[in-house]
C-alpha cells in the first residue's frame, strides 16, 4: 500500500514538473514588440473577431517597479505582456472610457505608477496588481502576476476621467471612442463583469 502511494506521488510530481516545463516553453514563444508594432497589435486585436487569443511582450519592468511588486507579492517580475482579449476587454467596454491610444501607456503606468496595490480579488487564479497614474487624467491598468513564468499579463484598463487633447499618439477608429466617465462602482471593483474572477481563499 505504502509503495503504491509512493509511486503515485512520484507520478504526480513528474506530471507537475512537466506542466511547469510546458508553461515555461510556451512563455519563451512570446514575441517582444516595439511601440510601433504594439500600436499595430492594438488595432489588429480590435479588428480580430476570432476566439483565438494572442499574446505579445510589450516591455520590461524597471528595478523600482520590481521592488514595488516584490513588496506586494513577494516576487520580482521582469516582463510585461498583454493579450488580444485584454485589449478588447478594456477598449470595447464603453464604461471603461478607454481609447486605443490609452493602451500605449501600459508600460509607463506600470513602471512609473503613482500608486500600485494588490487587489483582494484574483483573476484566472493569479494575484492581481493594480497600477494607477495620472496621464491626462487618471488611468488604471490591471495585470495578472504570473510568478512562475516571470511576467505580468494586462487584462483590463479604465480611465477615471478623460483629458486627452494633448495625447494624439494613436488616432481612434470610428466606433471605438467614448467620453463617458467610468462609474464609481467600477473603479472600486474591477470585477463588475468578471466572469473569471474568484475571491481569494483565506
Asked if 183 contacts 110 with a C-beta cutoff of 8 angstroms, the reply is no
Inform me whether the pLDDT recorded for 75 exceeds 90.
yes
Q: How many CB atoms lie within 10 A of CB 54?
A: 16
**CA atoms in the 13 A half-sphere facing the CB of 54:** 19
Q: What is the pLDDT of residue 166?
A: 46
C-alpha radius of gyration, the chain, whole number: 19
Q: What is the pLDDT of residue 20?
A: 61
Residue 104 CA to residue 35 CA, distance in Å, equals: 8
More confident residue, 96 or 18: 96
SS (H, E, C) the chain: CHHHHHHHHHHHHHHHHHHHHHHHHHHHCCEECCHHHHHHHHHHHHHCCCCCCCEEEEEECCHHHHHHHHHHHCCCCCEEEEEHHHHHHHHHCHHHCCCHHHHHHHHHHHHCCCEEEEEEEEECCEEEEEEEEECCCEEEEEEEEECCCCEEEEEEEEECCCCCCCCCCCCCCCCCCCCCCCCHHHHHCCCCCCCCEEECCC
Inform me whether the pLDDT recorded for 28 exceeds 90.
no
State the chain's mean pLDDT as an integer.
Answer: 78
pLDDT, one tens digit per residue, over 102-128 is 999 999 999 999 999 999 887 778 899
Q: Place 156 in a pLDDT band, splitting at 50, 70 and 90.
A: very high
Cell of 99: 481609447
Inform me whether the pLDDT recorded for 63 exceeds 50.
yes
pTM higher than 0.85 for the full model? no
Q: What is the pLDDT of residue 30?
A: 85
Residue 144 CA to residue 152 CA, distance in Å, equals: 6
Amino acid at each position: 500500500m505504502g509503495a503504491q502511494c509512493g509511486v503515485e506521488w512520484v507520478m504526480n510530481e513528474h506530471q507537475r514538473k512537466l506542466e511547469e516545463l510546458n508553461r515555461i516553453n510556451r512563455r519563451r514563444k512570446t514575441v517582444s514588440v516595439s511601440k510601433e508594432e504594439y500600436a499595430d497589435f492594438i488595432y489588429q486585436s480590435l479588428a480580430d473577431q476570432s476566439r483565438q487569443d494572442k499574446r505579445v511582450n510589450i516591455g520590461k519592468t524597471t528595478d523600482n517597479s520590481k521592488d514595488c511588486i516584490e513588496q506586494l507579492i513577494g516576487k520580482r517580475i521582469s516582463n510585461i505582456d498583454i493579450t488580444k482579449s485584454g485589449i478588447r476587454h478594456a477598449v470595447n467596454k464603453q464604461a471603461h472610457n478607454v481609447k486605443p491610444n490609452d493602451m500605449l501607456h501600459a508600460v509607463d503606468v506600470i513602471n512609473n505608477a503613482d500608486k500600485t496595490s494588490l487587489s483582494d480579488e484574483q483573476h484566472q487564479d493569479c494575484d492581481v496588481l493594480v497600477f494607477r497614474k495620472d496621464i491626462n487624467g487618471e488611468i488604471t491598468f490591471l495585470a495578472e502576476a504570473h510568478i512562475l513564468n516571470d511576467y505580468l499579463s494586462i487584462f483590463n484598463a479604465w480611465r477615471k476621467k478623460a483629458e486627452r487633447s494633448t495625447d494624439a499618439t494613436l488616432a481612434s477608429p470610428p466606433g471605438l471612442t467614448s467620453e463617458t466617465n467610468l462609474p464609481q462602482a467600477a473603479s472600486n471593483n474591477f470585477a463588475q463583469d468578471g466572469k473569471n474572477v474568484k475571491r481569494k481563499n483565506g
